[in-house]
Amino acid sequence: MNSELRDLYQDVILSHYRQPKNWGDLPDSNANAEGFNPLCGDRISVFLRVKDGVLEDIRVNGCGCAISCASASMMTEAVKGKSVEEAEVVFEQFHRLVIEGEAQEDDDSELSALAGVHEHPVRIKCATLAWHTLRAALRNEKQVSTE
Amino acid sequence: MKIAAFPIQTVQDQFPILDRTVRGRRLAYLDNAATSQKPIRVLEKVDHFYRNYNANIHRGVHTLSQEATKEYDDARETVREFLNAGEARQCIFTKGCTEGINLVAQAYARPRLKAGDEILVSTMEHHSNIVPWQIVAEQTGATVRPIPITEDGEIDLDAYQAMLSERVKVVAIVHVSNSIGTINPVKSMVAMAHAVGAIAMVDGAQAGPHLPIDVQDVDADFYTLSCHKIYAPTGVGVLYGKTDLLQSMPPYHGGGDMIRTVSFSGTTYADIPSRFEAGTPNVAGVIGLGEALKFLMGLGRSRVFEYENKLARLAEVKLTELGGIRIVGNSKEKAGIVSFVMERAHPHDIGSVLDSYGVAIRAGHHCCMPLMERFNIPATARASFAVYNDEHDVDALVQGIRATKEIFG
């Protein structure tokens, strides 16, 4: 694998892709949304259980490429247990990371592995699909498209 | 397998873009079904037009306009020859295949269709041969019905026969599938449509670059081309139509060059083809198209078909040998297009890995979402071949796929 590919497909990304976390349905969810990337046809669903302003539980499912699946899986770990406001902040940080390639100085989370996506503009929508879907679910919008 | 009798080196020498590298590697351009690269003679022809006789066409009395008009009209004659149309005026220049289909939907079908009428399209159609029919169906109360396809990606001719009735007014089918390469039996499908009184439109976007085309033999009522896929500049298409049908159709766009006389008490329209070419056309593009078609006809289209097909089938064999790869679309009659999926890697990931090896393919639904749904897959990776591809391109593809397998297991 050349260095460019190694930056894009880091081990942590491949590991989340192979064994995604918080994958499946959430029968007692009280918020959800469906995200669609018309560029590649990927669809992803996000289910949330929000109680007293806290994201108690989250599940995602849907099929997609390694970048979209890994990003979705990491996202669930990054926001689970956080307040809705905190989740919005994580969204903004992640957005800056992949759009501008700008990492938080103290960011030692797995999410920083997705910084390499910044170098592959056509893949940014893959990385952000789950996140836009999460935000739609938090804001009670049922559907989102990354067009 | 050694492929002989095709002057591949001479052909490659005519495509300056092949000299560049991508990510430090030799470019293996296998996204030809999206658009083809342009030979130097086409680039020079367009350049020469702009440098020496750039002018608007028709009615200009000055020398430059006359020269431009002659080249424009000559290109139409070249298109006639390319399609084996009866007359050059049956070949209308559009801005692309999509516009040709919309033109037929709006100018032919819309005034004629009524509630209860049916339009048949196949499940493997590009969105551009579905959506214009859905629009006209909504306008007229007609319905669009999809002709099913088999697991191998062939049109189910028995099902098609069963769907044909006097209610069917239009059959719109693709000659060669852009997604899976199937060559459809358009001649017999057109005859079947005619037997119930329907007209048949053939989308030749992918047939143009790969196959010899004879619109009279196929007996198509309408036939469209996308010229940037046939080594010509972007922004040019061709719509062929039977003379009596074209003459019976109202204009699609209004404007200059499509009229005979204009007054506020009434306007009379020009004869074909001008009636459908309102406004200043893509003069440079059309002149470039003429040169591109001469280039392709000069190579001999049967020979081109055979050459590209050998490469595509070689790629299929080599990819299949790697294991974990499934070719999507195994029609008996197939052009130089290879669509595939991998067990563990999504087409987008395949595309990114291949790009790092200098290999350009397409990953996605190829504007054929109903077809993807039919095969229950979100997307495929597609390698499509052109006259300048060779066995090194196949090897680069295989090497990139091997790397994809290493990453994704």
The CATH number for B310's domain is 3.90.1150.10
Residue B335, SS3 per DSSP: coil
CA angle at residue B162 from B158 to B164, to 5 degrees?
A: 120
Question: Residue B105: what pLDDT?
Answer: 97
Asked if A4 and B23 touch (Cβ cutoff 8 Å), the reply is yes
| Closest CB from A39, A41, A66 relative to B349 | A66
* Of B238, B270, B297, the domain-final residue: B297
Mean pLDDT of chain A: 88
Asked if B177 and B184 touch (Cβ cutoff 8 Å), the reply is yes
| Closest CB from A2, A17, A40 relative to B348 | A40
Task: Name the amino acid, one letter, at A2.
Answer: N
Per cent of chain B over pLDDT 70 is 99
Indicate whether B293 and B310 sit together in one domain: no
Catalytic site positions of B: 367
Q: Is residue B384 domain-resident?
A: yes
Over residues B249-277, mean pLDDT = 88
Asked if B190 and B218 touch (Cβ cutoff 8 Å), the reply is yes
The pair phi, psi for residue A136, each rounded to 5°, is -60, -40
* Of B276, B297, B318, the domain-final residue: B297
Residue B216 sits at the chain A interface (C-beta within 8 Å): no
Q: Is residue B279 domain-resident?
A: yes
CA distance linking residue B65 with residue B286, whole number of Å: 15
CATH number of the domain at B287, please: 3.40.640.10
Confidence label for A106 from pLDDT (cuts 50, 70 and 90): low
Token reading at B185 = 């039996």
B7 has pLDDT over 90: yes
Indicate whether B253 and B329 sit together in one domain: no
Question: Residue B387: what pLDDT?
Answer: 98
Question: Residue A86: what pLDDT?
Answer: 94
Residue A63 sits at the chain B interface (C-beta within 8 Å): yes
pLDDT tens digit string along B138-162?
999 999 999 999 999 999 999 999 9
CA distance B153 to chain A (A): 20
| Closest CB from A1, A66, A120 relative to B346 | A66
pTM above 0.90, yes or no: yes
Q: Is residue B80 domain-resident?
A: yes
Indicate whether B310 and B256 sit together in one domain: no
Pick the residue from chain A with its C-alpha nearest to B377. Answer: A41
Domain housing B27: 8-35+301-408
| Closest CB from A40, A42, A66 relative to B408 | A66
Question: Residue A104: what pLDDT?
Answer: 66
Indicate whether B292 and B309 sit together in one domain: no
Indicate whether B68 and B126 sit together in one domain: yes
Indicate whether B140 and B24 sit together in one domain: no
Indicate whether B283 and B218 sit together in one domain: yes
Of B386 and A119, the structure prediction assigns the larger pLDDT to B386
CA distance A1 to chain B (A): 7
Over residues B34-45, mean pLDDT = 98
Confidence label for B313 from pLDDT (cuts 50, 70 and 90): very high
What CA–CA distances, in Å, run from A36 to B42, B214, B345? 40, 41, 19
Please report the sign of the dihedral spanned by the C-alpha atoms of residue B72, residue B74, residue B76, residue B82. negative
Chain A residues with CB under 8 Å of B364 CB are 39-41
B319 has pLDDT over 60: yes
Q: Is residue B1 domain-resident?
A: no
Question: Residue B251: what pLDDT?
Answer: 92
Please report the sign of the dihedral spanned by the C-alpha atoms of residue B273, residue B275, residue B276, residue B282. positive
Contact between chains at A41 and B372 (C-beta distance less than 8 A): yes
Indicate whether B289 and B308 sit together in one domain: no
Indicate whether B204 and B66 sit together in one domain: yes
Residue A126 sits at the chain B interface (C-beta within 8 Å): yes
B1 has pLDDT over 60: no
Contact between chains at B347 and A9 (C-beta distance less than 8 A): no
CA distance B345 to chain A (A): 7
CA distance B381 to chain A (A): 11
Question: Residue B4: what pLDDT?
Answer: 47
Token reading at B132 = 């214009």
pLDDT tens digit string along B173-231?
999 999 999 999 999 999 999 999 999 999 999 999 999 999 999 999 999 999 999 99
Question: Residue A54: what pLDDT?
Answer: 95
A23 has pLDDT over 60: yes
Indicate whether B393 and B350 sit together in one domain: yes
Over residues A25-29, mean pLDDT = 92
pLDDT tens digit string along A52-101?
999 999 999 986 889 999 999 999 999 999 999 999 999 999 999 988 87
Confidence label for A108 from pLDDT (cuts 50, 70 and 90): low
Residue A142 sits at the chain B interface (C-beta within 8 Å): no
* Of B273, B297, B321, the domain-final residue: B297
Mean pLDDT of chain B: 95
Residue A20 sits at the chain B interface (C-beta within 8 Å): no
Lowest-confidence segment of B78-82, B306-310, B362-366 by average pLDDT: B362-366
Question: Residue B3: what pLDDT?
Answer: 46
ipTM of the complex: 0.86
Among residues B178, B208, B180, B391, which one has the least CA distance to residue B304?
Answer: B208
Domain count, chain B: 2
Question: Residue A147: what pLDDT?
Answer: 60
| Closest CB from A5, A40, A126 relative to B407 | A5
What CA–CA distances, in Å, run from B203 to B35, B78, B141, B214, B258? 16, 19, 24, 13, 25
Residue to substitute from B31, B131, B328, B348, interface A, most A β-carbons within 10 A: B348
Contact between chains at B365 and A4 (C-beta distance less than 8 A): no
What CA–CA distances, in Å, run from A87 to A36, A47, A91? 21, 14, 6
Residue B24, SS3 per DSSP: coil
Name residue A63's beta-bridge partners: A43
Chain B residues with CB under 8 Å of A4 CB are 23, 356
Contact between chains at A4 and B346 (C-beta distance less than 8 A): no
CA distance linking residue B105 with residue B100, whole number of Å: 9
Question: Residue B57: what pLDDT?
Answer: 94
Indicate whether B179 and B313 sit together in one domain: no
B92 has pLDDT over 90: yes
Contact between chains at B369 and A41 (C-beta distance less than 8 A): yes
Question: Residue B121: what pLDDT?
Answer: 98
CA distance linking residue B99 with residue B253, whole number of Å: 11
Alpha-carbon torsion, ordered B269, B271, B272, B273, to 10 deg? -80
What domains lie within chain A, and their CATH numbers?
A: 3-145 (3.90.1010.10)
B285 has pLDDT over 70: yes
Long-range contacts of A139-143 (CB under 8 A, 24+ apart): A140/A31, A141/A33, A142/A32, A142/A33, A142/A34, A143/A33, A143/A34, A143/A35, A143/A36
Question: Residue A107: what pLDDT?
Answer: 60
Indicate whether B102 and B197 sit together in one domain: yes
CA distance linking residue B376 with residue B83, whole number of Å: 36
Contact between chains at B408 and A14 (C-beta distance less than 8 A): yes
